[in-house]
Amino acid sequence: MKGLLLESWEISNEQMTWHVKSGIHWAADNVDWMENRELTAQDMVDDLLYYRNVSVSGSVFKGMSGDIYADGRYTVIIEFSKGFNVAMLRQIGYENRQLYTPPEMIVAGAGMWENQVGTGPFMLKEYVVGSHMTFERNPNYHETTTINGVEYQLPFVDEVIAPIIPDESTRVAALRTGTVDIYQKTPAEQWATIDATAPGISSSKYSGGMGVGINLRCDEPPFDDVNVRRAMFIGTDLKAFADAQGQGPLPIDWFPAFTGDPLVYVPLEDMPADQKILYEYNPTLAKQMLETALGPPDAEGVFFTTQLYTGNTPDCLDRAALLEAQWAKIGVTLEIKAYDTATYYDYIYNKTYTGSCELNPAVANPVTMQIGLSTGDYWNFNLWSNARFDEVLAQMLAEPDEAKRAPMIKELNTIKVTDAILIPTTSIPEGIYWWPWLRNYYGETNVQDIGLQALMAYVWIDEDLKTEMGY
């Protein structure tokens, strides 16, 4: 991970400079085509250049970056072609882009699992399709940790096994019986069962940084009319969707900003009036607004018929049925278009859906959630355009100071909510369950796509406690 590989870094309007830690070695003990050598700045440059030239995301990064080169053994220079853009930080430091591979791996075959080499705490040892992945301890890992004043070499455990269990009930059974030590992203509908049948188990539960929303297609009637979109928002009972999760009160104002981010989150009671009213379920007002915008309904009380494109899983179908019933109350007939994942995303990514589609807006990162809404952006699935939003977005992306970006992000959030381009139906509660014999773990999570592997470097198994608990 970049944060663990860098001693420090500097950012100006012209370039970004990384100072790479010395003494970090590639975990090449499990391959015969590479020596166990030190990571260098040139390795990172080669990886960045490879990424920039071969991927869709890399092409975005290419438009932001100029020259990328090593200045000596431990310094990486990334020049900005058009000045600082905070979106670049996501392109090269978030999700899978926090990981690095040596240039030798490209030659050896990066698509072969047995060739995977990094600098992390574990090395990929075995991958059995449909069964499990096994990671073994990297004996040359560079990180240490201090516990009670004593410094220890990481990782503590010799091996991490990640079982592949497609069936949800089987995953839960494996957790309850102590067959697995930890289950990240435990489905909320399983929490009550686990709490009741796994005495002594530990958990961490929170309102996550993502939810489910109804994206309204803003370039076609009737949702090209902002007043129609606002009526649909007001005519959707967000609390009913939240209560359907069965996990007690969940926030209905989880969108447009993560409720745990004090820099950009504005509580519902403090929102501007034309934004706050959208969250106040009022089917009578919604019908009045539709009649003002579209004229009287037909003889059967229907203003129009529209579509919802969604997945074909039980939870998708349940949400669609709830939305269908709610919109019927305001004179809108909803046709549910439920598809398998591949077909569904074909409609979404090619923007061939009509009416609306169900997507998962992420709010944890206040910067990246804005980028895909600019006019003409590939990720703008709403096909929405707002000149003021584009103007403020450009200013925000060019601002390196987080505190100065915050009011800009608040304005961006106000614009998109006031324009009602998305109806945030469901906050997704998240939970992690683990057994207390997993020592030195306290419910932490990693917002990156690599999951818990890096965190597992800090834990160990208390076999005595596991036996004492009857497992």
Query: Regarding predicted confidence, which is higher, 370 or 57?
Result: 370
**Mean pLDDT to the nearest integer, 395-419:** 96
pLDDT in tens, 141-155: 999 999 999 999 999
What's the rounded Cα separation, in Å, for the pair 140 and 120?
A: 9
Tokens 């400079």 map to which residue?
17
> Residue 470: which region, alpha, beta or left (left: phi > 0; alpha: psi -120 to 50)?
left
N-to-C CA span, the chain: 35
447 band by pLDDT with thresholds 50, 70 and 90: low
Taking CA atoms, 198 is separated from 202, 246, 409, 452, 470, in Å, by 9, 19, 43, 22, 11
Task: Judge if 409 and 318 occupy the same domain.
Answer: yes
**Mean pLDDT to the nearest integer, 114-136:** 91
Spatial CA neighbour of 178 closest among 199, 148, 203? 199
Task: Judge if 277 and 356 occupy the same domain.
Answer: yes
pLDDT score for 180: 96
pLDDT in tens, 3-22: 578 999 999 999 999 999 99
**Mean pLDDT to the nearest integer, 184-211:** 90
Task: Judge if 174 and 225 occupy the same domain.
Answer: no
pLDDT in tens, 301-337: 999 999 999 999 988 999 999 999 999 999 999 999 9
Q: How many beta carbons lie within 10 A of that of residue 295, not counting itself?
A: 8
What's the rounded Cα separation, in Å, for the pair 352 and 343?
A: 11
**Mean pLDDT to the nearest integer, 74-89:** 93
Task: Judge if 313 and 402 occupy the same domain.
Answer: yes
Q: What is the mean pLDDT of the chain?
A: 92
User: What is the C-alpha radius of gyration for the chain, rounded to an integer number of angstroms?
Assistant: 25
Burial 449-463, CB ≥16 within 10 A → b, else e: eeebbbbbbbbbebe
Q: Tokens representing 447?
A: 């917002």
pLDDT score for 157: 95
CATH code where residue 342 lies: 3.10.105.10
pLDDT score for 449: 55
Boundary residue ending a domain (82, 98, 115): 115
Task: Judge if 103 and 170 occupy the same domain.
Answer: no
Task: Judge if 87 and 159 occupy the same domain.
Answer: no
In percent, the amount of the chain with pLDDT more than 70 equals 97
Position 452 pLDDT exceeds 70: no
What's the rounded Cα separation, in Å, for the pair 39 and 141?
A: 12
Q: Tokens representing 55?
A: 């991927």
Task: Judge if 358 and 338 occupy the same domain.
Answer: yes
**Mean pLDDT to the nearest integer, 212-240:** 97
Tokens 């060739």 map to which residue?
115
Position 450 pLDDT exceeds 70: no
What's the rounded Cα separation, in Å, for the pair 276 and 286?
A: 14
Task: Judge if 415 and 440 occupy the same domain.
Answer: no
Alpha helices in 15-120 (DSSP H): 41-54, 56-64, 87-93, 103-108
**Mean pLDDT to the nearest integer, 282-293:** 98
pLDDT score for 1: 43
What's the rounded Cα separation, in Å, for the pair 123 and 137?
A: 6
Position 98 pLDDT exceeds 80: no
pLDDT in tens, 455-466: 899 999 999 999
- Give backbone dihedrals phi and psi of 191, rounded to 5 degrees, phi first: -60, -45
What's the rounded Cα separation, in Å, for the pair 415 and 388?
A: 8
Q: How many beta carbons lie within 10 A of that of residue 37, not counting itself?
A: 12
- Say which range, 95-109, 342-356, 388-402, has the weakest mean pLDDT: 95-109
Boundary residue ending a domain (63, 97, 115): 115
pLDDT score for 195: 95
- For the chain, give me the number of helices (H) and strands (E)? 17, 17
Q: Using CB atoms within 10 A of its CB, is residue 345 exposed (0-12), middle (13-18) or buried (19+)? A: middle
252 band by pLDDT with thresholds 50, 70 and 90: very high
Task: Judge if 416 and 284 occupy the same domain.
Answer: yes
Q: Let me know: does 365 contact 86? Beta carbons within 8 Å.
A: no
Task: Judge if 315 and 458 occupy the same domain.
Answer: no
72-76 CB contacts, 8 Å cutoff, 24+ apart: 72/41, 73/22, 73/40, 73/41, 73/42, 74/7, 74/19, 74/20, 74/21, 74/22, 74/40, 74/41, 75/17, 75/18, 75/19, 75/20, 75/41, 76/17, 76/18, 76/20, 76/41, 76/44, 76/45, 76/48
The single-letter code of the amino acid at 140 is N
Q: Tokens representing 108?
A: 């050896």
Q: Tokens representing 170?
A: 């089987």
In percent, the amount of the chain with pLDDT more than 90 equals 73
What's the rounded Cα separation, in Å, for the pair 147 and 179?
A: 28
Q: Let me know: does 259 contact 365? Beta carbons within 8 Å.
A: no
Q: Let me know: does 228 contact 222? Beta carbons within 8 Å.
A: yes
**Mean pLDDT to the nearest integer, 33-48:** 93
Pairing verdict, β 75-80 and 122-128: unpaired
Domain range for 45 is 2-115
Q: Tokens representing 103?
A: 């240039």
Query: Regarding predicted confidence, which is higher, 38 or 4?
Result: 38
CATH code where residue 19 lies: 3.90.76.10
Position 237 pLDDT exceeds 50: yes
3-state per-residue secondary structure call for 96-135: HHHCCCCHHHHHHCCCCHHHCCCCCCEEEEEEECCCEEEE
Tell me how many domains the chain contains. 3
Report the SS3 class of residue 68: strand
Boundary residue ending a domain (85, 115, 145): 115
2 band by pLDDT with thresholds 50, 70 and 90: very low
Q: Let me know: does 323 contact 425? Beta carbons within 8 Å.
A: yes
**Mean pLDDT to the nearest integer, 38-52:** 94
448 band by pLDDT with thresholds 50, 70 and 90: low
Task: Judge if 372 and 252 occupy the same domain.
Answer: yes
**Mean pLDDT to the nearest integer, 397-421:** 96
Task: Judge if 378 and 439 occupy the same domain.
Answer: no
pLDDT score for 39: 96
pLDDT score for 88: 87
Taking CA atoms, 365 is separated from 86, 91, 213, in Å, by 12, 13, 17
**Mean pLDDT to the nearest integer, 159-185:** 94
pLDDT score for 96: 67
CATH code where residue 173 lies: 3.40.190.10
For residue 246, what are the contacts with CB-CB under 8 A and spacing of at least 6?
188, 189, 192
Give CA torsion, residues 51, 52, 53, 57, to 10 deg: 90
- Give backbone dihedrals phi and psi of 466, rounded to 5 degrees, phi first: -60, -40
Strand order in the sheet with 202-216: 182-183, 422-434, 202-216, 356-359, 304-311, 332-339
DSSP character at residue 21: P
